[in-house]
Chain A
Amino acid sequence: MIAAWPGAAGEELAIAFDAGRPRRVLVLPAWFDEGNKLRHFTVEIMRRLDGAGVDSFLPDLPGCNESPAPLEAQTLDAWRSEAAEAASYFAATHVLTVRSAAAIAPDLPGWRYAPQAGSSQLRSLLRARVLSSREAGREEDRDTLLANGREQGLELAGYRLGPEMVAALAEAELPPVGRQRDVAQGDIGGPGLWLRAEPEHDPKQADALAAIIAMELLA
């Protein structure tokens, strides 16, 4: 179930449900705090796809999860080319992106679950930091944080982002949908799990999203 794949900075790990089946979905997980909150949910979708006869692959991008590479050194462009590399290595036929990962989808058919622009995620992270600083009696503001982050990088919700990543996220719009199609949270039902205080799993949501994907793949 744990596989390895050759990232640019060395070997990276991946969770793989690989039985050599014809339909192979590359899963690009949510980022930063959202990635933590959605990881269990994401793996549960893969488990269900496996049960439906679909292979899937969840690579660690450099700087994420078990990757030995520092997150601070990563850029959006690098992640985009790593995602394409993983797609090629695992011979993916489709892609499922989760939240902000829509920005780095390789050119494959597939789905973008609850896609958000990188700029929106950065805004949420900055706002959360300002609000929690205020509760702690420290005044910060987003503009100053962002300006400093573009120069020196920035730690947000425990994730240390380098200056290039901060600058790229600040400008990152949601890309045109391309060969994927969007699946909104409203199509799944239930609360967006990325907003929970703690990582949580909801079997019904995983059932719903996996069913949408499996039905379209196997139709």
Chain B
Amino acid sequence: MSGQSDSDTALRQVLQDVLGLSDARVAALTPDTGLFGHLPELDSMAVAGLLTEIEDRLGIVIDDDEVDGEMLETYGALLAFVQAKRGG
């Protein structure tokens, strides 16, 4: 399988573990699912911790310059960011 689907699985797992989403909610995440500002579990204080968890689990480094509302707006945007990081 491609690295892209690995990223998808791993990112879902992080969100599940860190945000405590149910299996059903994790399975229901689509590229359009709203993330920041839509999931009550993900408030602004959680963002720094969540990004660190993603870095550690997915083996990427996220620069603070890259963190903006767009990247965190939807599941699809966050996944695309992570995939680009892992591919690059």
Contacts and interface: CB of A to CB of B under 8 A. Distances in A.
A127 B16 contact: no
Contacts of B43: 196-197
A152 interface: no
Contact of B46 (A123, A125, A134, A197): A197
A184 B55 CA distance: 17
A130 interface: yes
A141 interface: yes
Is the interface on chain B under 10, 10 to 19, 20 to 34, or 35 or more residues?
Answer: 20 to 34
Contact of A196 (B16, B46, B56, B67): B46
A9 interface: no
Contacts of B6: none
Given A191-B19, A195-B18, A128 B48 contact: yes
B47 A131 contact: yes
A121 B49 CA distance: 8
Contacts of A185: 17-18, 20
A127 B17 contact: no
A186 interface: yes
A130 B18 contact: no
Majority secondary structure, B binding face = helix
B71 interface: no
B33 interface: no
Nearest to B47: A131
Contact of B64 (A121, A130, A196, A197): A130
A125 B44 CA distance: 13
Given A128-B45, A131-B64, A131-B67, A123 B17 contact: no
Interface string B27-55: 00000000000000101111111111001
Contacts of B50: 195
B11 to A, nearest CB: 14
A121 B52 CA distance: 8
10 contacts: A123-B52, A131-B47, A185-B17, A185-B20, A191-B18, A194-B49, A195-B50, A196-B43, A196-B45, A196-B46
Given A120-B56, A192-B49, A194-B49, 14 more contacts: A120-B52, A121-B52, A124-B52, A127-B67, A131-B47, A134-B64, A185-B18, A186-B13, A186-B16, A189-B20, A191-B19, A195-B49, A196-B43, A196-B45
Interface of A: 116-117, 120-121, 123-125, 127-128, 130-131, 134, 141-142, 184-186, 189-192, 194-197
Interface of B: 13, 16-20, 41, 43-52, 55-56, 64, 67
